[in-house]
Copies of this chain bind each other. A is one copy, B any other.
Amino acid sequence: MIQKLIEKIQKTKAPICVGLDPMLGFIPDHIRNRSMKELGQTLEGAADAIWHFNKEIVDHTFDLVPSVKPQIAMYEQFGIPGLKVYEQTVRYCQEKGLVVIGDAKRGDIGSTSAAYATAHLGSVKVGDSLCRAFDTDFLTVNPYLGTDGVKPFVDVCRTEDKGIFVLVKTSNPSSGEFQDRLIDGRPLYEHVAEKVVEWGSDCMDGSYSNVGAVVGATYPEMGAVLRRLMPHTYFLVPGYGAQGGTAQDLKACFNEDGLGAVVNSSRGIIAAYRQEKYAKFGPEHFAEASRQAVLDMKADIGSVL
């Protein structure tokens, strides 16, 4: 699966992932009002607005980027109707040829992780049928429970040609609280990185592994160290844009071949029309603002590679 992502990155010349993390407040009034008029001020109304918002952004950006990353929490907060739209968004993006990274950060004891792996990457046997639930291409995974909590995801990656990105160093301000603490003289995230390399070693797909790592753009020095520690691991890099990471900060996450990282931007793209820079598009043309934001991000990242 990582090869598919790499090929799409090379074709689009954009190591970019559009974060489909729709907050209701991001959605222009004309869409929100239409959905709520039809379905009420309900979870169904909110979910419908999110669907129309997502669809328009995907329609205006799918030819420019290799991948999207829907953050499932933003859908889960709208309950079943929200999760239906998560599923609908995943399907629609795949139909448009996009690689879909489900950002769910799941992780549990072995048998439970196996169920999550089934839910998001694999298939479940019901009688004689194999049924698929959310069926994204990649999933983000939390490593706190150790090898037996991650292995079920790795196993599904191997059998189904899917991929995961394991949290190594996250982009948020408190990420250092535990992740940076020194163990035998080295921060916890380096120990996690070593395990990620180990887990990924029998899951190679070309020169990179289907087991990738989440490495925040907001900590560039650490990105550089991790890049050296994990030469065959693809990085999913959150934190660019709204969270403060710049193109210069990202450089360290790439290998010399110009590969090795896919950079996510959520708010910076999907809510671009709310920035002064893109205000001229107006709420009616929010998706055109998103398209312009993708083009600008592509140029920005291209300038340092």
Contact = CB atoms under 8 A, between A and B. Distances in A.
B112 A78 contact: no
Nearest to A108: B105
A13 to B, nearest CB: 29
Given A24-B126, A46-B126, A77 B133 contact: yes
A31 interface: no
Contacts of A74: 112, 115
B128 A146 contact: no
B177 A188 contact: no
Contact of A79 (B45, B133, B192, B243): B133
Given A77-B115, A170-B145, A133 B87 contact: no
Interface string A126-151: 11110111100000001111111100
A182 B87 CA distance: 41
Contact of A178 (B21, B112, B118, B143): B143
Contact of A167 (B83, B133, B144): B144
A15 interface: no
Interface stretch (A36-44, A54-62, A253-261): A36-44
Contacts of A145: 167, 170, 172, 174-175
Given A131-B46, A191-B181, A146 B77 contact: no
A246 interface: no
Contacts of A171: 109
Interface string A64-85: 0000000101101111101110
A73 B115 contact: yes
Contact of A110 (B118, B129, B134, B172): B172
A122 to B, nearest CB: 8
B76 A179 contact: no
A143 to B, nearest CB: 7
A145 B105 CA distance: 11
A80 B106 CA distance: 17
A181 B259 CA distance: 33
B191 A178 contact: yes
A173 interface: yes
A230 B305 CA distance: 49
A124 interface: yes
B80 A176 contact: no
A116 to B, nearest CB: 5
Contacts of A73: 106, 108, 112-113, 115-116, 119
Given A42-B131, A77-B115, A178 B192 contact: yes
Given A46-B124, A82-B119, A107-B142, 9 more contacts: A42-B131, A76-B115, A76-B119, A79-B87, A105-B106, A105-B142, A109-B238, A177-B195, A178-B192
